[in-house]
Structures are given as C-alpha cells and as structure tokens.
Structure 1
Amino acid sequence: MYNVVPTKSDLDNVEIEEALDLTGHGRYDLLLLFSCCIIHLGAIIDLLGYSLVVPAASCDLQLSLEDSGMLTSVSFAGFMSALFWGYSTDKYGRKKALLISSSVGFIMSSLTSFSTSFYMMLILKFLATIFSTASITLTITFLGECTSKRRRNRYLFTQNVFSLAADFVCFGMAYFILPLDFNIPLPLLTSYRPWRLMSLLMTTPLGIGSLMTCFLYESPKFLANVGKTDKALEILTAMYEANNGKGSVYPVKSLMKVDRPDGSISFWDSVVSQTVPIFRPPLLWRSLQIFLLFSICCATNNVFYVWFPTMVNSFFTTASEDISFCEKIVANITPVKLNETCIDTNPTNTIYVGLLSSLFFTILNIVIIPVANWRKTLMVCTFALSGVCCIIVDMVRQPVASMVIFIAIQVTAISVGGVGSYCVDLFPTSYRGLATSLGMLFTRLICLSGVNIVGATIIDYCRVTFYCWAVFVFSGILAALLLPSEVKSSERNRT
C-alpha cells in the first residue's frame, strides 16, 4: 500500500528539497492532491460558471444585455486582490491563506444564489471572487511546494485536469438543472428557481475543499524559509509517517538553516521587499516570461469560453451551411433590447457541444500526464496548434470541421500545469506565492480586456480578431523556447 523510499539513517543538516523527497509517497500526498484539486475545481467553476447562470437569471432579475455582460465578466475582477493574497501567502503561510480564501469564497458565493437584484448579485459576486479566485494560484503554490520534485509536474498536470473538468461540470449541471421547471415562493425572494439551485450547487466543491484543508499541514518549504526549521521538520516527519505507516522512522534529524527575514521592518517596507525583486533583474525576465505564458494559456481558454454559448448558439441557429465560420456565428448575434426576449435556459445544442469539448480536453489532459516532464515541448505544441486553428477556423466551410477547429483553439489550457510548475522552479520560496498571484492578476486583466475586445470586434472584424489572437498565441512559442531546460530548472528548484 505504501511506497517506502529507501534512505540512510540519522541525516543531519539536510536541504529542504531533499528532505521533502525523503518523505516518500502515500496517503498524505494523495490527500494533499485531492484537496487542492477539489478547491481548484471549485474556484474555476466559481470563475466561469456564471456564463451559464446569468442568462437563466435574466428574467427574475430583469437583466439587460449590458447587465448580463457585467455579471459574466465581474469574476475576472476578483483577481485585483492578487497583490494582497500574494503578499499574505508569502508572509503568513500557504495553508492559512488557502483556508480563508476557499471558505469565505464558499460562503459569499452561496449567498449570491439568493440575489434579488442586479446590484445585489454584482456586489456579492465581486466579493466572492476576491476570495475564491485566490484559491486558483494558492493551490498551485501549495501543491507545488509540498510535493517532491519527482512527482511535482505530474501532480500539477493532474490538478489541471480538474481545472478543465470544471467546464464539463458546469455544462453538466446546466443540462440537468436549468431545464427543470419549478418555482417555489420564498420569503424575501421573488421565487426559488433552477438557476438559483445551480448557482448554489456550484459552490459545493469550495466548501468541501476548505474542510479538507483543515487536515493538511503548512508547507514545510515555507516554514523552513522563514526560519522555522524545527516546525518544518516536525511536519516532514508527520508526512513521512502518513505516507509510510506508523512506526516508520523519518531519517532526517535536522534541516539546513535558513536566514530568517527581519521582522522589525514596517508593513509597507515588507510589501516593497516582497514585490520589487520580482520586477528587478535577475527575476524580471522570468516574471514577464511566466506572466505571458499564463496569459496565453488561460486567456485563450477563458475568453472564448465566456463567448462560447453565444457563438455556438448562433452557429447552430444559422440555417445556411455553405458559409464560413465567422458568417455563421455573427448571423444571429444582434443587440437585444431590455425585456424584448426572456430566455431562461441555454440551447440544448450549445450544452451538448460544451459537454463534449470539455470532456475531450479533460481526457486529453489525463492522457498527457505520463509525459508531464516534457512540459516545454507540450507548451510549444499546444500553442502551435491553437495558433494554426485561429488562422484556419474561418477558411473551412464544413460545419462540423469548423466547430472542431474552433474548440481546438482552447487547447492552450492544458499547459497551465506546466507553467505553474515553472513558477515553483524559477522563483525563490520568498517570492513564489506573490509571483504566481501577480501572474494570475496580469492574466485576468488580459482575460477581462479580451472578453470586451472580442465582443466589440467579432461582428465587424471576425476573421481579423482570430488572426490577431493567433499572433498573441504564437508569441508564447518564443517565450516557451527560452525557458530553461528541465535539468537547469530542477537544479534551481532547491531554493
């Protein structure tokens, strides 16, 4: 049942990375992985799931087209708190930040399902995503630091499977819940309808994940980095016993000491000391590189996901087949006046395509886990495929083929785990949490801009929009090729 790692006895002054490797692999690692995956799933659902909830809520909340657009994109604004979360996780600990973000995010998102007006939903959703979206980056940092370098890439790619599965979960819930026909009068609410149930159920993974976090230990790397080597050794010993069974003796007797940071500096000086090194050589180039790669991986998926229901619905409701993809998707995208039409549920064809595409990407991510250590090659291949699909999507006139090509544009999402693992490799422990959070902040700003740019240009400049996005994706190939080799990145991972 356990994978016991053969070790020497009574090892002293051991480096933290080596000490982590010696904990073996077993129950604790699996609990850690499952907990982070569940939280990551919940945070992604909370981020993207509202693109399916908002149209169904338009009748009850009397939402205009502009209102729906704001509610759909407000989730990305939650990343404006990335600096706070990045600083907090590097200053006070990974577990504490993850527990607070997931639990408060769960509570606030649950309250959102009881919204009675546009403004109430907008405010509650914004507050919820300030906490819940932080869990996306926190799980990357926490999982990456608490696993041995031999399994780190595979674990982060496994976590990304849950990220991609979030789309499938959202469309699956929409398929089963939104078509339901019930209307239960409740005090203070107009009525309790299917979209409220779906909104509430979407918060469940965050709640489960926050409970599971209570059974996890703080990152030993973080503790060792702030000078608490005795506490780090205590946690490493507990991890070893959980992985290898009670009665087994952890061979490490002491950890290599790390200079403790000066605790007498002011709060703002501390913020500056944590932030400035990320944007100053030698980390500046790596920061920009990682930020760009995160943006390409996430924005390409998220932006087209947000517009996915609108584009696919228009695609399937256009009768003519001998026209290009752009001509089909813009044919029925027209401004709708308030109260002109009120649609509670998403078209069946859109849900079917969403289910199939998300299932495909989830399975694809599972298939590539065994080759997760080839992360640079995977990155280059996915970026190349996505860019080519952006170029040819409007050239193919066969409906099924053009829809497959459109879906393939979002393949960049499977490289998020690889970029996350490079964050662990390239940034020192003192700045890792903040660097990852700022990377996601930059990414979500690109997402927010991308959603609005695509919405403003897709009708009049559809083909040009896809061509410009291809240039954006192709730039990631150059950035990926300039990443260090696997050997070099592994060597740098000892900080």
Structure 2
Amino acid sequence: MSRHGHTRDAEARKPLLTGDYLEPSVLDSDEGEIIFDRSAPNIGRDAGRSAQKRLTYEEAVEEAGFGLFHWLLLVVCGWANASDAVEILCVSFILPTARCELQLSSSDMGLLTASIFLGMMVGGYMWGYLADRRGRRKVLVVSLTVNGLFGALASLAPWFWLFLLLRFISGIGVGGSIPVIFSYFSEFMPRLRRGAMISALATFWMAGNILAAGLAWLVIPQDWVRFSVGPLDFRSWRLFVVLCSVPSLTSALLFRLLMPESPKFLMEADREKEAIRVFRVMFELNMWRKGQDFPEFGLCTGSKQRGGGQETRTRGPRRGRLACVLKKALAPIKQMFNAPLRSRSVVLLVIFYCISFGYYGLWMWFPELFSRVESGGSPCSNVSLPSLQQNQSCSPVKTAVYAEGFIVAASNLPGNIFTILVMDNTGGKTLLAGSLIVSSLSVFLIYVVQTKVQTLILSCVFSGVSVIAWNALDVVGTELYPTQLRSSALGFFTGAGRVAAITGNVVFGRLVDSNCAVPVLLVSALLLAGGLVALLLPQTKQTELT
C-alpha cells in the first residue's frame, strides 16, 4: 500500500512510460479502488480537487498536448497492427509450397486459409466485450500472446489437421487484437488529428504485409533449411511460419512494459485518479524539454456501474446463472441494433461482409494465382491441370511468385499516403464509398485481362485502392459508437467480416480449379455493393468521441 500511496506523486512525475503506471492489477475494478482511492495521502488532494476546474475527455486530451507520447503510441500500436497482418497473410505465402508436403487439394487450401478467420470470428466479439468491461490494455497483451504463441506452435505440426487447429487458435488471438487496437489508439487522440492518426496506424497493415511478403521471398525458396524429427519434416516454409509469430509476441511485451490504459475507458469506468495519471504521462512526454508544468484539473467521469461483474455470481441454478451471463454478454449487440444506432449498424454489417469477402477471398489466393500464371495467361485461363496432379508433381515454386507478392504488398503505400493526407478534410464516408467502387472495377478487369503483366498491374491497383477502403472503415467504425460500445461493436463487425472471409476462401478453394470466373466476379459484385451501401452512412468527419 505504501508504494502506491506515499510515492505516487514521485512516480507520476517520471518522464518515461512504464508498466508501473498501470499495473495489470489496476485493470480489475476492485483492486483499482484499493490502490488509488483508499490511500491516506489522497484525502487532502480530493478535498481540494472539488474546487478545481473539471474537464471533459476531449478537453483533457487537448490539455495533454500532442507530441512524443502519440508518436510512441503510434509505433507500438502500429507494430501490433503489422503483427496481425503478418499472422493472417503468412498462410497465403506458404500455400504453393506447403500443399506438397501436407498433400493438400484446393479445397484443403481453402479450409486452411479460412481457419484463421474462423478463429477471428470466435475471438472478435469475445475480446471486444472484455475490452469494454475490463480495459483495452490487458486484452491486447493476452490476445497478442495467444496469437504469437499458437502461430509459432503451428510450424511444428506434422499433420494437416493439427496445423489447421493451431492456426484456428492463433486466429482467436488475432480476432481480439485487431478491433481493440483501434479503439485503444483512438481514445488517446485529439479530435482534429484523429482521422489522420488512425489512417497512419492503418498503414502499418501495409508494413506487415510487406514484411510477410519479404520474409516469404527470402526464406521459403531456400533449400538449406531442412531436418527431420519423427513424423516432422522441417523445411523452409515452417521456419517462415515461426518468424511470422515474432511480431505478435514482441507487441505483447511492448504493451505490457510501456503502455498505459486508455484514459477514455478509465473515465467511463469512473476511475478519475488513474485517468489523470495517464494524462500526466501524456503531458510530460509531449512537453518534454519545454519546461511546462502539468495543470491541475479534475475530470467529468462516467457513471458506469462497477459492481455489475458481481451480478453473475449470485446464488441460483447453474442454468439461470449461465443465462444471466449470456444475456449480459449479448446486451451490447442489442444496443447496437436499437434506435438510434440501428441504421448505421445494419449498413456497417453489410459493408464489413462485402469488403471482407472481396479482399480476403482474393488476397489470400494471390500467391497461388501468380503461381498459376507463371507460364502465361490470366489467373483463370491456366487451371486445366487438376489440383491433385499438381500436388503429385511437387515441382519447385518459382521465386518470381514471391517477388510478385512483394510488389503487390508494396503497392499499398500510395493508398496509405493518400489516406493520411486527405482523411481529415474529406471524411471517411466519401473515401470508403469511392475506394470500394474502384476496387470492384479493378477486380473485374483482373478477370478480363489475358497476360501476366496486366494481371500484376491490376493486382497492384486493387491493393493500393482497397487499402484506402480499410483505412476509411477503421476511422468511421471508431467514430460511430460510444466508448462503452466501441470495442464490442468493432469486435462484432470484424467477426461478421470473418464469416465473409471464411466463405470467400472456401468458395475460392471449391471453384478455383473448375470455374475460376465465379469467385472473381462475385468479389467484384460484392465490392460494388459495399461501395453503394457506404453512401448511406452518416458523415463523421472530425467528430467528437462520445
């Protein structure tokens, strides 16, 4: 008690961010009260604070300034976002090689690419709900650890079914980190900079994409990486899977050691003193070497009930307690689809489904499609050889396949730069609708063209334009819902998107050999539909977070 009570003022003046500012135990509401609310030195301060000015969340964020803290936050959250991209996309790069060792048909490859999305669907809402109830930081640490740990273990799986299971569990971790990262990040941002900064955070997906493609290019073609242990034949593609898990594990460590809890969440949970400590850390880092003193102020906190977690532990039949827990867990979804949020929730549900089916359905199969056009022609004109025969031949995959994947990944850069420059002035709604429509056209032309070079160019156009849609959706999604629903809503919609991604990958796996035109044209149609529906969203340009 003495360490947190009598030395708290000295600790609060530290210019460095460490995990001591918000220890994991602080995330538990009961322990938070013990540590910060009941220590003797707080009595005089609390008595004086009643006469201080009390600031809203937006005013407190402005008071804390903008600077070094926010750039550090961008790097840490961005690396976590990049780690998710690496973990998701690494499967697409191992398909041309791993299918030989694991004896996969095209349908099996569709199941493999779908497995991580199935895990993301399961984990998305669950982690989002926990983040809205227990805090963003703790959920990020746990979900990123699950992601990296099981992703690495998958590299040691000698059988396809075990590899599939471990990728599924890894996907549960990814499902938590993606929506929570954007909620967490947005709740530190000043209103006028939020759109550009969230767009900058979204660009780290491109960094992860490029990292995965670069690692695949450097590692998978190597033939010196090979040894056998029992039924396990460890080859270069398995080393690639191990390397892809490193970003997630290092991201979890960075959040655990460096980052504080979201001040917006703390205010909504009526944990004023903890929120003020976070604002103090932000101020001292942002005003480093400027010689300014942290202004004393109080906060207009929320009135969220803190004892609600005890309701599920009352006496009664087990079935009744389970029903109570289930009802409480589904309450955010009910709120999302009640007035006045119903219309925007329905529109976002349609958009997430369309863009996820289109983007992941096509993107996860790019390396395989490039492998099929190496001899010339379009992706859908060189599929006469049955998948089983391809597996039996097991011919080495040309290095050019991974080089082309790297080029397509790098083509995200112009779209990301464009989004950062125009987001705050144009607004997410306009960018979202326009980019989805252009993406639809580029996919249609991929089906029409007849040469490898044309296919590569249009794939790059699709990559550069579709990333604008994702960046805009990240901004719009965080601004359309209040704090107590934000992570739950994003978790729910990303979960719905995972259903679409699973469907898209299964459809590609079933039809890429027999009727390639169907999935490609379906992707084009869904992206067009998503772009038109996006026009129904409200404009959220530079809006205040509620």
Fold match by TM threshold 0.5: yes
> How far apart, in 1, do the equivalents of 2:545 and 2:196 lie?
18
> How far apart, in 2, do the equivalents of 1:184 and 1:57 lie?
13
For the structure 1 residues 189 and 249, does the alpha-carbon distance in structure 2 shift closer, same or farther, using more than 3 Å as the test? farther
Alignment of 1:250-269 (within 5 A): 250-251=294-295, 253-261=297-305, 263-264=307-308, 265-266=311-312, 267-269=325-327
Which of 261, 272, 283 is the matching residue for 1:229?
A: 272
Cα deviation for residue 64 of structure 1 reads 4.8
Please say which structure displays the higher CA radius of gyration.
2
Which of 416, 423, 428 is the matching residue for 1:365?
A: 416
Which of 453, 460, 472 is the matching residue for 2:507?
A: 453
For the structure 1 residues 236 and 177, does the alpha-carbon distance in structure 2 shift closer, same or farther, using more than 3 Å as the test? same
Which of 26, 29, 45 is the matching residue for 2:70?
A: 29
Which of 384, 392, 410 is the matching residue for 1:340?
A: 392
For the structure 1 residues 63 and 458, does the alpha-carbon distance in structure 2 shift closer, same or farther, using more than 3 Å as the test? closer
Which of 91, 103, 106 is the matching residue for 2:148?
A: 106
Deviations 1:42-96 (A, max 9, x none): 1121112112224433454444554433223211111222221121011100000
> How far apart, in 2, do the equivalents of 1:60 and 1:97 lie?
36
Matched, 1:208 2:259: no
Is the Cα–Cα contact under 8 Å of residues 40 and 163 in structure 1 kept in the other structure? yes
2:433 maps to which residue? Answer: 380
Deviations 1:104-154 (A, max 9, x none): 221221222222222221222211221133211111111111222222212
For the structure 1 residues 395 and 48, does the alpha-carbon distance in structure 2 shift closer, same or farther, using more than 3 Å as the test? closer
> How far apart, in 2, do the equivalents of 1:341 and 1:68 lie?
17
Which of 369, 374, 378 is the matching residue for 1:316?
A: 374
Which of 524, 532, 536 is the matching residue for 1:478?
A: 532
Give the stretch that moved more between structures: 369-378 or 430-439.
369-378
For the structure 1 residues 239 and 459, does the alpha-carbon distance in structure 2 shift closer, same or farther, using more than 3 Å as the test? same
Matched residue SS, 1:49: helix
Alignment of 1:77-96 (within 5 A): 77-79=118-120, 80-96=122-138
Cα deviation for residue 286 of structure 1 reads 1.4
For the structure 1 residues 43 and 180, does the alpha-carbon distance in structure 2 shift closer, same or farther, using more than 3 Å as the test? same
Alignment of 1:135-214 (within 5 A): 135-185=177-227, 187=229, 190-214=232-256
| Amino acid aligned to 1:473 | L
> How far apart, in 2, do the equivalents of 1:381 and 1:148 lie?
27
Is the Cα–Cα contact under 8 Å of residues 372 and 379 in structure 2 kept in the other structure? no
For the structure 1 residues 357 and 60, does the alpha-carbon distance in structure 2 shift closer, same or farther, using more than 3 Å as the test? closer
1:5 maps to which residue? Answer: none
2:293 maps to which residue? Answer: 249
Give the stretch that moved more between structures: 51-60 or 38-47.
51-60
Is the Cα–Cα contact under 8 Å of residues 141 and 432 in structure 1 kept in the other structure? yes
| Amino acid aligned to 2:301 | K
Give the stretch that moved more between structures: 427-436 or 61-70.
61-70
> How far apart, in 2, do the equivalents of 1:191 and 1:330 lie?
29
- Give structure 2 stretches of 5+ with no counterpart: 1-14, 16-50, 313-324
Deviations 1:221-271 (A, max 9, x none): 011111112211121111111211275323351111321226243333431
Which of 74, 93, 114 is the matching residue for 1:73?
A: 114
Deviations 1:434-475 (A, max 9, x none): 100111001111011012223334455444544433331122
Is the Cα–Cα contact under 8 Å of residues 53 and 297 in structure 2 kept in the other structure? yes
2:26 maps to which residue? Answer: none
2:283 maps to which residue? Answer: 240
1:328 maps to which residue? Answer: 381
2:318 maps to which residue? Answer: none
Give aligned pairs, total.
477
Matched, 1:416 2:470: yes
For the structure 1 residues 293 and 327, does the alpha-carbon distance in structure 2 shift closer, same or farther, using more than 3 Å as the test? closer
> How far apart, in 2, do the equivalents of 1:339 and 1:189 lie?
19
| Amino acid aligned to 2:472 | G
| Amino acid aligned to 2:429 | K
Is the Cα–Cα contact under 8 Å of residues 114 and 189 in structure 1 kept in the other structure? no
For the structure 1 residues 327 and 48, does the alpha-carbon distance in structure 2 shift closer, same or farther, using more than 3 Å as the test? closer
Give the stretch that moved more between structures: 10-19 or 98-107.
10-19
| Amino acid aligned to 2:303 | D
> How far apart, in 2, do the equivalents of 1:337 and 1:399 lie?
23
Is the Cα–Cα contact under 8 Å of residues 60 and 190 in structure 1 kept in the other structure? no
Which of 426, 429, 440 is the matching residue for 2:483?
A: 429
1:291 maps to which residue? Answer: 349
1:275 maps to which residue? Answer: 333
Matched residue SS, 1:280: coil
Is the Cα–Cα contact under 8 Å of residues 312 and 329 in structure 1 kept in the other structure? no
> How far apart, in 2, do the equivalents of 1:327 and 1:172 lie?
26
Is the Cα–Cα contact under 8 Å of residues 58 and 68 in structure 1 kept in the other structure? yes
- Give structure 1 stretches of 5+ with no counterpart: 3-9
Is the Cα–Cα contact under 8 Å of residues 11 and 251 in structure 1 kept in the other structure? no
Q: What TM-score, normalized by structure 1, do the two folds share?
A: 0.89
| Amino acid aligned to 1:147 | M
| Amino acid aligned to 2:199 | F
> How far apart, in 2, do the equivalents of 1:175 and 1:239 lie?
40
Is the Cα–Cα contact under 8 Å of residues 436 and 531 in structure 2 kept in the other structure? yes
